Chains A and B, each alone.
Chain A
Amino acid sequence: MTRLASPRAGRDLDEVAARAAHARGRPRSRKYIGLLYAAPTALIVGVLFLAPLALVVWMSLNKWPLLGQARFNAPDNYTKISDDPLFVDSVWFTLKYTVIITVLLSAVALGLALLVQNRRPGVAFFRTAFFLPGAVGFAAASLLFYGMLNPDFGPLGFMDVKWIGTPNMALFSTIALVLWRFAGFNMLILLTGLQAIPVQVYEAARTDGATRWQTFTKITLPLLRPTIALMLILSITGSLLAFDQFFIFTNGGPDNSTVSMVMVIYRNAFFRFDLGGAAALSVVLLAALVALNALQLRVLRGGDK
């Protein structure tokens, strides 16, 4: 992948353009031409990303009701975080969910990728079949499962199981939903890594008399490490921000047993009308994820060496 365009090349083109403009009798005002083309990007990033980023920090330092006047009250929004049992529970629940889903998702995705890695008749169909759930939106997938796992309406009614009726079953069913929706997606990530391993490496292993298992553990897995790391990063950060599956599919229930961190942020803002508190939670989550991302990127870079 190419990095930033070399400034030298850019200058060349500016000069060419300037000379062309000059030839037509226009003034040399090409230095800011690039800025003009980048202006829409700058506007969007400034107004809709940097400004809200600053605003979320400012809001977290204020008592900020949904309607009415904001009032500076730092650091109340932060000190009261640990007093909110729903949030504390949601942190533990989200962490537990993240660990379980990351382990299972990686295992299933790796299994699928190994099944469809070689070119053979029908493999394109299988790849598409595994990936197809990933083309459906996550909200649509959650609603689909909401109907499918309803004991009265769904096809599994004969099993007489309350799929989202108890805390453990609700988590179990959500995991099934997320595996269904994301396994193919992660399989695709792993396939790109698998296909980057040169065939010669496998041939050499075969000549040396390596068994299939040895080839897998000694060659495939180590060479796949950066790809696996990428998959883990995406799975961990995605799961820590879980919302749709618990808001739509289990609705946080039963008894608030499946309330994720982002759901608490949403509840504090729009049910308790406490935007300041929601902003403080957002800042904490944001800082944690940025730190995690930075850490993981370092680990990932280390794996490349």
Chain B
Amino acid sequence: MRRTGSYSATSALAVLFLFPLVWSGWSSLKGQPGSGQTNGYGFGNYSRMAGFGEGLTSYLTNSLLVSTMTVAGTLVVSALGGYAFARFAFPGKNLLFLATLAILMVPYATILIPLYVLLGKIGLQNSLVGLSLVFVMFQLPFALYMMRNSFEAVPRELDESALVDGCGTFRAFTLILLPAVRPGLVTVGLFAFLASWNDFLAPLILLNDGASFPLPVAVWSMTQRTFGAIDYGMLEAGVMVMAIPCLLLFIVLQRYYVRGFMSGALRG
């Protein structure tokens, strides 16, 4: 009895949690008066979105560029840094590690205003490269911590023997250590992608030209119409374009997500 009761309660809750996603997908395909899909079901809302503002392809390209640069940047910087912290002694080591972890202590929203000014000074204001570098910085505490621990988990004998055999540290790093820390790299890459793909406040502040907006800001701007009605069908189509890659990635890479979660994706 108790078991059935608990099962039905859990199932009802699961329906409640899944409902908004299902509704959003359904209404992005459904006909709405005044939307791209006026009757029946189809991709009318999506094709209307393709022509919204600077065009869907432009926003999608911006989002993909920012995410790719962020993931690549985070992987390169944190893998090299993690190797340094796991295997070498060097001047300022502890200080640099503490400074990196301090990024977690400082609320992200409070340094975006100076970052806006600073990026302007180095010619990276309103630039997707500048935005990606900012994302790399925000990812760094988790990524560096994760990669350092991954490298430390690899037995030292593995790369030491390579070094004794006359292999340089960089070759030992690329040929022997990197393949051994692949799970760590996947986790770091996954979190870097989700953060950069979804973030709203950083592009809102750091970019000021509609043509360089990534998806979250572009889709939000659909709700900021000064005249005429908001096209809700197109809005939910936009939500789906943002959400589907994340949902798929999460389902495929769930194991890595939970792994990152356990090792403190939230704080070091």
Contacts and interface: CB of A to CB of B under 8 A. Distances in A.
A103 interface: no
A33 interface: yes
Interface in A1-46: 1-2, 4-5, 7, 9-14, 16-17, 19-21, 23-24, 31-38, 40-42, 44-45
B85 A11 contact: no
A241 B24 contact: no
B10 A116 contact: yes
A188 B14 CA distance: 15
B227 interface: no
Contacts of B49: none
A53 B103 CA distance: 10
Contact of B77 (A32, A44, A146, A192): A44
Interface stretch (A134-142, A198-206, A213-221): A134-142
Contact of B20 (A44, A52, A145): A145
Contact of A34 (B88, B113, B118, B246): B88
Interface stretch (A71-79, A80-88, A148-156, A165-173): A148-156
Contact of A52 (B90, B102, B105, B115): B115
Contacts of B264: 1
Nearest to B78: A41
B246 A285 contact: no
A265 B110 contact: yes
Nearest to B98: A4
B106 A286 contact: yes
Given A5-B86, A20-B163, A132-B250, A289 B23 contact: no
Nearest to B219: A143
B172 to A, nearest CB: 9
Nearest to A136: B243
B103 A128 contact: no
B154 interface: no
Nearest to A121: B7
B223 A32 contact: no
Contacts of B235: 143, 146-147
Contacts of B198: 136-140
* Chain B interface size, under 10 / 10 to 19 / 20 to 34 / 35 or more: 35 or more
A90 to B, nearest CB: 13
A16 B111 contact: no
A133 B250 contact: no
Contacts of A122: 7
A159 interface: no
* Chain A interface size, under 10 / 10 to 19 / 20 to 34 / 35 or more: 35 or more
A41 B107 contact: no
Contact of B239 (A50, A140, A262, A293): A140
15 contacts: A20-B164, A41-B100, A45-B103, A52-B118, A122-B7, A126-B13, A129-B17, A133-B21, A137-B197, A139-B220, A147-B236, A266-B204, A269-B116, A286-B111, A293-B105
Q: Would you list the 9 A-B pairs with minimal beta carbon distance, nearest first?
A: A34-B88, A137-B198, A34-B90, A37-B84, A41-B81, A139-B200, A10-B89, A135-B250, A38-B84
Interface of B: 6-7, 9-11, 13-14, 17-18, 20-21, 23-24, 27, 32, 76-78, 80-81, 83-94, 96-97, 99-100, 102-103, 105-111, 113-118, 133-134, 136-137, 140, 144, 148-149, 152, 156, 159-160, 163-169, 173, 194, 197-201, 204-205, 216, 219-220, 223, 232, 235-236, 238-239, 242-243, 246-247, 249-251, 254, 258, 261-264, 266-267
Given A7-B89, A143-B235, 12 more contacts: A11-B89, A19-B164, A38-B81, A38-B93, A53-B114, A56-B114, A130-B13, A133-B20, A137-B216, A143-B239, A237-B107, A275-B113
Interface of A: 1-2, 4-5, 7, 9-14, 16-17, 19-21, 23-24, 31-38, 40-42, 44-45, 47-53, 55-56, 59, 64, 112, 115-116, 122, 125-126, 128-130, 132-133, 135-140, 143-148, 150, 153, 155, 180, 183-184, 188-189, 192, 230, 234, 237, 240-241, 243-244, 247-248, 262, 265-266, 269-270, 275, 278-279, 282-283, 285-286, 289-290, 293
